[in-house]
Structure 1
Amino acid sequence: MAGVSPADLSPGDRVALLVPGSARYVDVVLSLLVRGIIPIPMDPRLTESERAGILADLEPTLVVTDPSELEALALGWAPGDVPLARPMHVTSGTTGAPKGVYSGVLDVQAAAALLAEERLLWGFNAGDVNLVVSPLYHSAPLRFAIGTLLAGGRIVAPGAFEPAAMTAAIAEHRPTSMFVAPAHLQRLFEHWDEHAWPDLDSFRLVAHAGAPCPDPLKRRLIRVFPEGSTWEFYGSTEGQFTACRSEEWLLHPGTVGRARPGRTLAVDEDGLIWCAVPEHARFTYFNAPAKTQAAWRGDAFTVGDLGHLDEEGYLYLDARREDLVITGGVNVYPAEVENALAEHPGVTDVAVFGVPDERWGQRVCAAYVGPATAEELTAWARERLSPPKRPKDYQRLEAIPRTLTGKILRRSLTQVAPSPPPSS
């Protein structure tokens, strides 16, 4: 554990958590939040190079890299406590420079309002059992776990996603809620088709987000879970935009819903989606004032996604933020991967892009110019990039297609990319 002692932490201090998720992990996050200390959940699989670059910008007071170090941070909390901060999750941008989404220390009124709106929307209660399916360093699964615990419920965290383990947890613990990405649903359904389907009647809330959900998968989700239990929401690390019951989706196929309570949606003349939020939901990008200024217009922010609203206020996404690749619910920004690959001495130019994949939604691919081999680049990426960011396919080209102004023509690259492998 690098930095100051846990006993010396004060409101506003930041604690980077680079350890696997667990029930104790969530306990520590809550212990910090109710004291106004800001946890920074991070992927423990980040390479040393990635860690160093991110932590240099975030300036944490304390860095935790060993799960045994969590015990000293479990300072205690109780259901009914109000978190005085939001976790500072890290997101990137088209520049490939990860930044922390920072809300600072909230006053008691703002903190209570933030907690109340989550509980009102999702109905967290003392009888809830939340099954943690996604990694807890992501904002959505951590939010659902925190909301459950603060309402007096409990969480079940089986560890890294594996269909058999999740199925066993459903049978043993009879969860009432879970957050999933579409890739999780697809793998669970495949496993259950091959083996046996568990009893799903205990679920009152199954929420999905993080990537587009194919129509057949969505309709199957609605069929197999209890009526009224399934939801989709659209949001980002920065904030939440919409929430949509599946029954609404059936009437408006393709929508991601209407503005969630307390929010107002607008789409500008360029198709950019803006979301006006209350004061307690505002944020900045830590140590990045220019990036912060570009994201806000009055009380509304954007993350660069494009869409349109129908006459009833239902939002439809037309395109995710420029160049973003969503693989298994994880956002991968090509510029960050390109920066890492461009450092290889056998690469003179490189472009990273996503191609459709039946299981993961998209998979990361790279086209490059230079004498390096795909094997060399695979080894290079393994040392510098965490697993979701590592390209699965490499193409050597004579030149990277670009516009006259030098912008990569990624769509032309996807047209010559290898076809996705058949699903097993």
Structure 2
Amino acid sequence: MSHQAAEPVALPAADLRRLAGRFAAGLETAGVRAGDRVVVSLPNSVELLAAVWACVASGRIPVPLDPRLTPHEREPILDDVSPALVLDSLVRFAELLEPEPVDLDPDPRCRPMHFTSGTTGRPKGVWSGFWDVTDAEQAVLEERDLWGFAAEDVNLVVSPLYHSAPLRFALGTALAGGDVAVLPTFTPEGFCEAVARLRPTTMFCVPAHLQRLLAHLEVGATIDVSSFRLVAHAGAPCPDPIRRGAHALFGTDVVWEFYGSTEGQFTACSAPEWAEHPGTVGRARPGRTITVDHEDELWCAVPPWGRFAYWNDEERTANAWRDTADGPAFTVGDLGRVDDDGYVYLDSRRTDLIISGGVNVYPAEVEAALVEVPGVVEIAVFGRPDEHWGQRVVAAHVGDASEDALREAATERLAPPKRPKEYERVEALPRTATGKVRRTEL
């Protein structure tokens, strides 16, 4: 029954809502109750989007996971959320569909629970709590007002929907009555074909997508992108040549970038604003206030629907929040500054964070997976500049472990984006006086 063929199909919102309603009916039949967690680990597809919509609009909590996670990565998450259902194949999705849909709430009751790692290397769920009717409506309207989602839109999904940003754009479009089409995987050739056939109006992408598309066009490929009214990029720092290439291709009236995280959204920036304030990631989104503390850490005060907690982790939640004059504000540890006009500049993402192809890779998680390999005395993982992916993952290790053994362990325990592309044996890891590894020296 999959709508997801080799060529993506633009599915109208009414069809997608009916599909989600049929799946919500199946959840009821299967005994999945309100408040239960549903792990959604599917290939990129409209079915994934329908499953998430069914959950958030019927009081269940969807937990989208990368289907490439290894058992080593997935099992601790399943233990943490105790799901009532693990949806890990399109066949299982089809089996759960009921002939008649149930009515879904007009607006989602919560955000999906996405997992993020951070410095501990132990992934934790970001949980919004359930919203009341007013906050649910305001959460939807905030995105709609900012991005202009409308019934005339065709949103082309080019990124994995288990990530929060592409999921927000796709669901926001559907809630506004627009069509959604999903690329199973991104290739420049497949993207160009989809654009020619579907004439999409919006997409979210990461800089690596833009880089690959521009390189494809440089060698003679052509594309008519006049159907786009919005191309939003985020997820990684965008090199100036790529940004300017995107501005030239799509138009400065079309391209936006934003700064956010799994935990929440900070800023949005149009191309003309960036041209007037080079290097900025924009100003605080409406209803938010961004400040910096004495250590240059960015804090964002958010409206009620922007609140969150880390699932089953009160200490980590407490460390992420503080009260300010503008209300409760959170941080994800990024450093930056805010100028007199309110424009935000990122000085550095968390020093431990590697962003490869728009995917966050946390060194601590990779190190924990590899430190037990026989012959590893100690290991440090860091990012190295990569013209294709932005950064590539590299591991430096002390000890006589073989590269083959390390690669075998990485394949068994880590999803592909987290696996080091290079391994280097060193005599000792550079450390600070307090014993912390100096990743910048590596």
> 1:422 maps to what in 2?
none
Aligned pairs for 1:7-406 within 5 A: 7-72=30-95, 76=101, 81-298=106-323, 299-406=328-435
Q: Tell me how far apart the structure 2 counterparts of residues 134 and 79 of structure 1 sit (CA, whole Å).
A: 26
1:378-402 Cα shifts (integer Å, max 9, x gaps):
1110000001100001000111111
Q: Tell me how far apart the structure 1 counterparts of residues 170 and 30 of structure 2 sit (CA, whole Å).
A: 25
Are the equivalent residues in 2 in contact too, given 1:203–1:226 (CA < 8 A)?
no
Q: Which amino acid aligns with 1:183?
A: A
Instruction: Provide runs of 4+ in structure 1 moved above 6 Å.
Output: 77-80
Are the equivalent residues in 2 in contact too, given 1:204–1:226 (CA < 8 A)?
no
Q: Tell me how far apart the structure 1 counterparts of residues 102 and 148 of structure 2 sit (CA, whole Å).
A: 21
Deviation, 1:377, is: 0.8
Are the equivalent residues in 1 in contact too, given 2:151–2:177 (CA < 8 A)?
yes
The verdict on how the C-alpha distance between 1:265 and 1:204 changes in structure 2, with shifts beyond 3 A counting, is: same
Q: Tell me how far apart the structure 1 counterparts of residues 164 and 54 of structure 2 sit (CA, whole Å).
A: 17
Are the equivalent residues in 1 in contact too, given 2:40–2:51 (CA < 8 A)?
no
Are the equivalent residues in 1 in contact too, given 2:44–2:183 (CA < 8 A)?
no
Q: Which amino acid aligns with 2:331?
A: T
Q: Tell me how far apart the structure 2 counterparts of residues 85 and 5 of structure 1 sit (CA, whole Å).
A: 18
Are the equivalent residues in 2 in contact too, given 1:234–1:241 (CA < 8 A)?
yes
Q: Which amino acid aligns with 1:348?
A: V
Q: Which amino acid aligns with 2:230?
A: L
Q: Which amino acid aligns with 2:319?
A: A
1:216-246 Cα shifts (integer Å, max 9, x gaps):
1111111111341110000000000000001
Which 5+ residue runs of structure 1 have no aligned equivalent? 414-424
Are the equivalent residues in 1 in contact too, given 2:57–2:105 (CA < 8 A)?
no
Q: Secondary structure at the match of 2:192?
A: helix
TM-score (norm 1): 0.94
Q: Which amino acid aligns with 2:315?
A: A
1:93-133 Cα shifts (integer Å, max 9, x gaps):
10101000001221111101101111000100001000101
Q: Secondary structure at the match of 2:144?
A: helix
Q: Secondary structure at the match of 1:8?
A: coil
1:14-54 Cα shifts (integer Å, max 9, x gaps):
10011112012111211111112111100000001111112
Across the aligned residues of Structure 1 and Structure 2, the Cα RMSD in angstroms comes to 1.5
Q: Tell me how far apart the structure 1 counterparts of residues 241 and 135 of structure 2 sit (CA, whole Å).
A: 41
Q: Tell me how far apart the structure 1 counterparts of residues 68 and 162 of structure 2 sit (CA, whole Å).
A: 11
Are the equivalent residues in 2 in contact too, given 1:31–1:74 (CA < 8 A)?
no
Q: Tell me how far apart the structure 2 counterparts of residues 165 and 77 of structure 1 sit (CA, whole Å).
A: 35
Q: Tell me how far apart the structure 2 counterparts of residues 56 and 314 of structure 1 sit (CA, whole Å).
A: 42
Are the equivalent residues in 2 in contact too, given 1:31–1:73 (CA < 8 A)?
no
Which 5+ residue runs of structure 2 have no aligned equivalent? 1-26
Q: Which amino acid aligns with 1:405?
A: T
Q: Percent identity?
A: 57
Q: Secondary structure at the match of 1:9?
A: coil
The verdict on how the C-alpha distance between 1:6 and 1:241 changes in structure 2, with shifts beyond 3 A counting, is: farther
Q: Tell me how far apart the structure 2 counterparts of residues 51 and 164 of structure 1 sit (CA, whole Å).
A: 32
TM-score (norm 2): 0.90
The verdict on how the C-alpha distance between 1:6 and 1:104 changes in structure 2, with shifts beyond 3 A counting, is: farther
Q: Tell me how far apart the structure 2 counterparts of residues 213 and 252 of structure 1 sit (CA, whole Å).
A: 15
Q: Tell me how far apart the structure 1 counterparts of residues 170 and 94 of structure 2 sit (CA, whole Å).
A: 19
Q: Tell me how far apart the structure 1 counterparts of residues 169 and 96 of structure 2 sit (CA, whole Å).
A: 21
Q: Tell me how far apart the structure 1 counterparts of residues 400 and 252 of structure 2 sit (CA, whole Å).
A: 57
Deviation, 1:372, is: 1.1
> 2:6 maps to what in 1?
none
Deviation, 1:79, is: 9.5
Q: Which amino acid aligns with 2:420?
A: P
Q: Tell me how far apart the structure 2 counterparts of residues 328 and 164 of structure 1 sit (CA, whole Å).
A: 18
Aligned pairs for 1:397-416 within 5 A: 397-413=426-442
